[in-house]
């Protein structure tokens, strides 16, 4: 059975107190919306429709940045979850399979849970995902009779007996596609909120002789983000889970609670991550590497045996081959660094290619930006760049070439050549002593005049 995802993301999220639409606030470097889309994507959907309203253009851009095939439809006014799904009708024209409704602000629904919903579908026209919770008052209540779901009653509309039910609606719902819009056509807004409730399709379906059921999942999967405090809690939950998963996969985290992972961080077995390391999105670290304390990585690839940090910064496009060493206070951006090369201290390497086993001395800078354009630096194999060399790009240093420390290199250096690009040293015998005497005399005179 093919699946279409409908992700509801039109709400404003007033309690976030933000100019940014709620679903674009991030957990582990990805918008809440993308977490929901990723989770749904594990079902290999035929179609993905995102219903957006507040901040439509921004939400659309974020959705399509992650999945360019996603349809993003506009819900001009937020007249309820049922109304939101109706807005997706046109985008689903001609689609034959089942429709899975997810919320853009509910990031943690697990793929296994979605699979269990599909397994529960069978003859049921609707499968609702519920959770047990006896404190959460505001949720819709799932009214069950055995395995049958009779109806969902919103808290506002429920009597005391129904409010006492501890089986809550998470909002995630799987619906037989060819029945969905007929069911929605029968939904009215005659309720306490004056909204079209998606939840009402359960009672409508039963009245039409169709059946519905609900399955349950852990409450941690269904948490929605409504405020900055929730966002921080959700981040913490994500991090706890992601750290545990990495350790399970054979990665050593010396102090797990101080390592921050992105939603897509990949780290190989037997790699060691020291305390206080931050991973932004799109980082892959292969096996047997070591990321030392206080390093910040983003959009980077570290290969087998790489050693990074302490205090290193790898920015997008840092592509490090096997056994590369990047030391303290080194920044690498958009640079290919070949096998065994070393950049050990206080350097900036940007828009560059560093050849294998090259040694980049302390304080080396690739001067890649002329104020308008970026230019490339090439350093050959086994080249030796002396400390404090300024490599003024575009510039190429040949294989096994050397630059003298303190050089400003503005022209290409041939293979095996030594380039000196600094003022010639001159020496004035005895001059230092003379200078000191002069200065001391001056100081003595000054303090005498004062007193
Ligand atoms: C909804 C459910 C409730 C469930 C709860 C779980 C209904 C009527 N109620 O209530 O049973 O327990 O979620 O969190 O479905 N949205 C739109 N357009 C709209 C309205 C909502 O896109 O017109 C989106 C929101 O942005 C949000 C999601 O749908 O992502 C849920 O909406 P929300 O208003 O939070 O629903 P609840 O009142 O919490
Ligand atoms: Ca909600």
Same-domain status, 48 and 111: yes
Cis peptide before 394 (omega within 30 of 0): yes
Compute the 3-state secondary structure of the chain and give helix, strand, coil in percent, each to the nearest 5.
25, 30, 45
* Residue 139 token pair: 């949720």
Say how many domains are in the chain: 2
Query: Strands 359-360, 331-337: parallel, antiparallel or unpaired by DSSP?
Result: unpaired
Same-domain status, 171 and 311: no
231 in any annotated domain? no
62 in any annotated domain? yes
Q: Which residues pair with 143 in a beta bridge?
A: 151
Tell me if 392 CB under 6 Å of ligand 1.
Answer: no
- What gap in Å lies between CA 149 and CA 147, rounded to an integer? 7
Same-domain status, 48 and 80: yes
What residue's CA is closest to ligand 1, atom 29?
A: 8
Single pTM value for the model? 0.93
Tell me if 222 CB under 6 Å of ligand 1.
Answer: no
Query: Of 163, 188, 222, which closes a domain?
Result: 222
| pLDDT, position 136 | 66
Same-domain status, 280 and 319: yes
Distance from the alpha carbon of residue 233 to the mean position of ligand 1, in angstroms: 20
- What gap in Å lies between CA 403 and CA 323, rounded to an integer? 23
Same-domain status, 163 and 283: no
With 0-12 / 13-18 / 19 or more C-beta atoms within 10 angstroms meaning exposed / middle / buried, residue 407 is buried
Same-domain status, 262 and 188: no
Q: Are 330 and 347 in contact (CB under 8 A)?
A: yes
Distance from the alpha carbon of residue 178 to the mean position of ligand 2, in angstroms: 27
pLDDT (tens digit per residue) in 48-57: 999 999 999 9
| pLDDT, position 135 | 75
Tens digits of pLDDT across the chain (451 residues): 899 999 999 998 999 999 999 999 999 999 999 999 999 999 999 999 999 999 999 999 999 999 999 999 999 999 999 999 999 999 999 999 999 999 999 999 999 999 999 999 999 999 999 999 987 678 999 999 999 999 999 999 999 999 999 999 999 999 999 999 999 999 999 999 999 999 999 999 999 999 999 999 999 999 999 999 999 999 999 999 999 999 999 999 999 999 999 999 999 999 999 999 999 999 999 999 999 999 999 999 999 999 999 999 999 999 999 999 999 999 999 999 999 999 999 999 999 999 999 999 999 999 999 999 999 999 999 999 999 999 999 999 999 999 999 999 999 999 999 999 999 999 999 999 999 999 999 999 999 998 8
Q: What CATH number corresponds to the domain at position 249?
A: 2.160.10.10
Phi-psi region for residue 47, left (φ > 0), alpha (ψ -120 to 50) or beta? beta
266 in any annotated domain? yes
Helix (H, G, I), strand (E, B) or coil at 212: strand
Phi, psi of 100 (to 5 degrees): -110, 120
| pLDDT, position 71 | 98
- What gap in Å lies between CA 255 and CA 274, rounded to an integer? 7
54 in any annotated domain? yes
Same-domain status, 337 and 207: no
Residues with CB under 5 A from ligand 2 (ion): 224
- Which ligand has the shortest distance to the CA of 106? 1
Distance from the alpha carbon of residue 224 to the mean position of ligand 2, in angstroms: 6
For tokens 């799987």, name the residue: 174
In ligand 1, which atom is closest to the CA atom of 140? 11
Distance from the alpha carbon of residue 97 to the mean position of ligand 1, in angstroms: 24
Same-domain status, 9 and 146: yes
Domain coverage including residue 404: 241-419
| pLDDT, position 134 | 81
Phi, psi of 241 (to 5 degrees): -65, -45
Same-domain status, 218 and 245: no
Q: What CATH number corresponds to the domain at position 73?
A: 3.90.550.10
For tokens 């390497």, name the residue: 349
- What gap in Å lies between CA 119 and CA 105, rounded to an integer? 25
Distance from the alpha carbon of residue 173 to the mean position of ligand 2, in angstroms: 14
Same-domain status, 159 and 268: no
In ligand 1, which atom is closest to the CA atom of 78? 23
Which residues have a catalytic role annotated? Answer: 345
Same-domain status, 172 and 304: no
Ligand 1, pocket-test mutation among 81, 184, 224, 227, most atoms within 8 A of CB:
81
Tell me if 167 CB under 6 Å of ligand 1.
Answer: no
Tell me if 168 CB under 6 Å of ligand 1.
Answer: yes
138 in any annotated domain? yes
With 0-12 / 13-18 / 19 or more C-beta atoms within 10 angstroms meaning exposed / middle / buried, residue 253 is buried
441 in any annotated domain? no
171 in any annotated domain? yes
Distance from the alpha carbon of residue 150 to the mean position of ligand 1, in angstroms: 20
In ligand 1, which atom is closest to the CA atom of 13? 26
Tell me if 140 CB under 6 Å of ligand 1.
Answer: yes
Tell me if 154 CB under 6 Å of ligand 1.
Answer: yes
Ligand 1, pocket-test mutation among 7, 9, 11, 16, most atoms within 8 A of CB:
11
Phi, psi of 259 (to 5 degrees): -105, 125
Same-domain status, 138 and 280: no
Q: Are 5 and 70 in contact (CB under 8 A)?
A: no
pLDDT (tens digit per residue) in 231-243: 999 999 999 999 9
């Amino acid at each position: 059975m093919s699946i279409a995802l409908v992700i509801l993301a039109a709400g404003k999220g007033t309690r976030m107190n933000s100019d940014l639409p709620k679903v674009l606030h991030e957990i582990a470097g990805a918008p809440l919306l993308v977490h929901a889309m990723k989770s749904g994507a594990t079902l290999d959907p035929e179609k993905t429709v995102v219903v957006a309203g507040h901040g439509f253009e921004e939400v659309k851009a974020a959705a399509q940045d992650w999945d360019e095939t996603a349809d993003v439809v506009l819900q001009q006014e937020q007249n309820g979850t049922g109304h939101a799904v109706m807005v997706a009708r046109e985008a689903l024209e001609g689609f034959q399979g089942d429709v899975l409704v997810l919320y853009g602000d509910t990031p943690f629904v697990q793929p296994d849970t979605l699979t269990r919903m599909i397994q529960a579908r069978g003859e049921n026209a609707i499968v609702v995902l519920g959770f047990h919770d006896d404190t959460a008052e505001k949720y819709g209540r799932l009214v069950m009779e055995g395995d049958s779901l009779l109806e969902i009653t919103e808290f506002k509309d429920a009597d005391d007996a129904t409010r006492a039910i501890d089986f809550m609606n998470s909002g995630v719902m799987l619906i037989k596609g060819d029945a969905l819009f007929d069911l929605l056509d029968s939904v009215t807004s005659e309720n306490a909120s004056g909204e079209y409730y998606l939840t009402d399709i359960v009672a409508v379906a039963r009245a039409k002789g169709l059946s519905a059921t609900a399955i349950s999942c852990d409450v941690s999967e269904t948490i929605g983000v409504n405020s900055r405090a929730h966002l921080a809690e959700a981040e913490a939950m994500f991090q706890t889970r992601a750290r545990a998963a990495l350790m399970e996969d054979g990665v050593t985290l010396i102090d797990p609670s101080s390592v921050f992972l992105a939603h897509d961080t990949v780290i190989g077995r037997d790699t060691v991550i020291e305390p206080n390391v931050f991973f932004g999105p799109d980082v892959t670290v292969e096996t047997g590497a070591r990321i030392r304390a206080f390093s910040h990585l983003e959009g980077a690839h570290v290969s087998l045996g790489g050693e990074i940090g302490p205090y290193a910064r790898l920015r997008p496009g840092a592509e490090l081959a096997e056994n590369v060493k990047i030391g303290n206070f080194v920044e690498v951006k958009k640079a290919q660094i070949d096998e065994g090369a070393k950049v050990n201290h206080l350097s900036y390497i940007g828009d560059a290619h560093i050849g294998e086993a090259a040694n980049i001395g302390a304080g080396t800078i690739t001067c890649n930006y002329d104020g308008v354009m970026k230019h490339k630096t090439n350093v050959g194999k086994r080249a030796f760049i002396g400390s404090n060399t300024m490599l003024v790009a575009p510039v190429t240093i040949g294989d096994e070439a050397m630059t003298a420390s303190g050089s400003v290199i503005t022209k290409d250096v041939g293979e095996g050549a030594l380039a000196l690009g600094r003022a010639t040293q001159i020496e004035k015998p005895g001059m230092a002593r003379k200078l000191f005497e002069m200065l001391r005399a001056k100081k003595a005179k000054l303090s005498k005049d004062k007193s």
